[in-house]
Amino acid sequence: MVAQKKKKPAPTTNRMNGGELIATALAGYGVRTVACLSGTAHTHLLFAFENHDIGIVSGRHETATVAVADGYARVSGRLGVALIKADQGLPNAMSGIITANQACSPVVVLVSMLPDPKREAADEWPNDWLDMVKPYAKWVRSVPAADRLEEFVHAAARHALTGRPGVSILGIPQHFEGEVIEVTKSYTPVATDPPAPSAGSIERAADILAKAKQPMVLVGTGAALSEAGPAIRKLAKTFQYPVLANALGRGLVPEDMVLGFSWPLAQVAAKDADVVVVVGMRMTERMGYGLAPRFNGDAKFIQIDVEAEEIGRNRVVDAPVCGDARLSIEALHKALKKRKVTPKGNPSWVNKALKVRLSRIEELGKDDEGPIHPYRIGRDLMDLMPANAIYVGDGADIQNWMHAVLRIRSDRGFMDHYPLGSMGIGTPLAIGAAAASRDLAKENRTDPRPVVLVTGDGAFGFYSAEFNAAALAGLKIVCIISNDGAWGTEKHGQLNAVGKSINCELGQWDYHLIGQMFGGHGEKVDTPLDVKPALERAFDSDTFSVINILTDPMAGLVRKQDPRVQTVAFEDLVSSLKTHHTPDVA
């Protein structure tokens, strides 16, 4: 009897359309909400998201759509996803893309494109719409064939999430999402461990830090992205190092004015540090490029960054450490303990440097009658805002004022339009933050973290229609408008320079009606004693709120003239950027 050969088992197949394939891949990254400007381009993908119980925030402008994904990523620590169309949509999305990429937010933008046969040699539109974004995103590709959709989606996610996170843009010919694909095996991405620092670099850093008399630690977005909060708090507590934070790094050490400080407020102490440890922070203009006179010219610098090219940008670094922020701080803590480094004691020298500044801040904005000073908003908000709240800042003058009194007390608890500075983007960032807060609360069976947006009347005007998106998605946001009736920074800059202003007045309009128009809570406040009760009602509301606070139209002139209240300077000339600093008196 002749033995029969065993038949090979038929390969397991799974037929699904391209939209289902994309949605399945993204769900694997923990995506629970996406942002999309409505349209037919992503129809099959949108229905697939619905089948996966993935929520959709439906925006009104493409930059806002990308910014919602950006805000979602900053709060959740997960991938943010935005869906737009190429031709009309991509030009509109540029500010959102640049903002997210500069903020190192892991965002994937899925761009629906016309099929290749639709391209014409003499068309008024380019053959490749993605050309316009290639200089401004981390990774940009088009999917060449429908059966490679899954591979390219995973590549986009990987590039957005690894190394220094950023924006991946994936162009998808729109018919691919409806095409039925037979999947014979699932593409499984390999998780990449974060890069550890070399032992030698940690030893050099520890040698310098062990000899420091007044060390200072600066933390930025990179520290938050690596989940370095516990390690930084441990380092600060063990050795009594003051920590000054900026951007998403704020709140990693609670801003208690003992060990934790915000960089905008406490930067005047930087010149007194003899050793500066920079963790996941770029040495940009806002940091004085790490140079004198913002810092002591003789100070030693230790810089920790996951990207080697960031280390030593604009200044010499004495101890470069290339590696993940969390792993590097943990290793540095261990090396200092091995050297039996003793705590420096309460770093009161930081508050000593702040004495003149804090004294001046304390003098302003406490009148119960007359025009409302922006400090009144900040102080009343600090009395009410929970420790775990997520604060979103926007605008120019109001941001400066808020930095003086704002105290962030939890991880991933702060974001603004830095470093691009695109006005108005705070509104969709807050919507994305609220969506992430709700998703995380649902998973963890906790209450959502409150989201507070503080903005100026000028900035509010850019994307105010996005409150329609908040209404449709059922998101709660407390939006506070400091309404001085003008482009305040420009107005007072002109007044300070030439004694008069032009093309800066806006009028103190009833912006709170926009909140009411979209079904939320809205009210106007015009007296100082009414600020706190209005904020209380906003926090107690079960929907989003727009609180329109009429602030002193002339308050901003003081900020232009008194360096003690300048937390971010807008007066710098390009020719003097490298010497930009806050004067000693501040």
pLDDT tens sequence across 251-294: 999 999 999 999 999 999 999 999 999 999 999 888 888 998 88
**Whole-number pLDDT of residue 125:** 64
**CA triplet 90, 93, 95: central angle to 5 degrees?**
135
Domain(s) labelled CATH 3.40.50.1220 in the chain stretch across 199-349
CA distance linking residue 166 with residue 98, whole number of Å: 10
**Whole-number pLDDT of residue 114:** 82
CA distance linking residue 166 with residue 137, whole number of Å: 7
pLDDT tens sequence across 484-526: 999 999 999 899 889 999 999 999 999 999 999 999 999 999 9
Q: 14-183: CATH homologous superfamily? A: Thiamin diphosphate (ThDP)-binding fold, Pyr/PP domains (3.40.50.970)
| CATH topology for the 199-349 domain | Rossmann fold (3.40.50)
DSSP output for 374-426: HHHHHHHHHHHS-TT-EEEE-SSHHHHHHHHH----STT-EE-STTTT-TTTH
CA neighbor of 436 nearest in space, from 104, 188, 105: 105
SS3 479: strand
SS3 203: helix
**Whole-number pLDDT of residue 47:** 96
**Whole-number pLDDT of residue 577:** 44
Burial level of 266, CB count in 10 A (0-12/13-18/19+)? Answer: buried
CA neighbor of 150 nearest in space, from 52, 31, 14, 18: 18
Burial level of 510, CB count in 10 A (0-12/13-18/19+)? Answer: exposed
Residue 231 Cα distances to 211, 263, 426, 475, angstroms:
21, 19, 29, 33
**Whole-number pLDDT of residue 6:** 54
In which residue ranges of the chain is pLDDT below 50?
Answer: 1-4, 10-11, 570-583, 585
| Per-residue buried b or exposed e for 480-503, using 16+ beta carbons within 10 Å of the residue's own CB | bbbbbbbbbbbbbbbbeeeeebee
CA neighbor of 221 nearest in space, from 193, 251, 191: 251
CA distance linking residue 321 with residue 317, whole number of Å: 10
Domain(s) labelled CATH 3.40.50.970 in the chain stretch across 14-183, 364-579
| CATH topology for the 364-579 domain | Rossmann fold (3.40.50)
**Whole-number pLDDT of residue 288:** 87
Residue 47 Cα distances to 20, 23, 113, 160, 171, angstroms:
8, 9, 18, 24, 19
Are 401 and 378 within 8 A, CB to CB?
A: yes
**Whole-number pLDDT of residue 532:** 98
**Whole-number pLDDT of residue 574:** 39
**Whole-number pLDDT of residue 75:** 98
Q: How many CB atoms lie within 10 A of CB 144?
A: 12
